[in-house]
Amino acid sequence: MREFGGSTENARAPFLAAAFWKKGVKVKGKVVSEFDTENGKSVTLMLDKPVTIDGREEKKISLGALKGLAMAVRDSGAKELQVGDGIELECTGTSETAKGNDQINFKIRIVRGDFS
């Protein structure tokens, strides 16, 4: 027999929203889960170092379906982020779009396997 347990509180992982990202801001961590939102696929990371979101230190965060992130992932040669991937992500600035919201641009390093 197998048994499983979990809680909403343990699964909680706030999003690193567009307002979080400024040129030079970096995060490093491991993809621990993936999930779908109305905007596309998102992932949850366990970070090496916590970040501050709304005044709280967070070590487990979610990355949403940001266009600039998807473009950086594709440019890396990986089709998409996968559970188990180690990543280093850096905001390199923004670009204007016709939609009125600037696109956040990223540089990414993805490691599948032993990440250090």
Share of the chain above pLDDT 70, in %: 97
pLDDT of amino acid 115: 59
Give the span between the Cα atoms of 12 and 58, in whole angstroms: 10
Mean pLDDT of 66-95: 94
pLDDT of amino acid 18: 85
Class of the 13-111 domain? Answer: mainly beta
Residue 57 pLDDT > 80, yes or no?
A: yes
Residue 45 pLDDT > 90, yes or no?
A: yes
Domain coordinates of the chain in residue numbers?
13-111
Which neighbouring-strand residues pair with 51?
A: 58
Token pair in block for residue 95: 């670009």
Structure-model confidence comparison of residues 12 and 29, the more confident one: 29
pTM of the shown model: 0.86
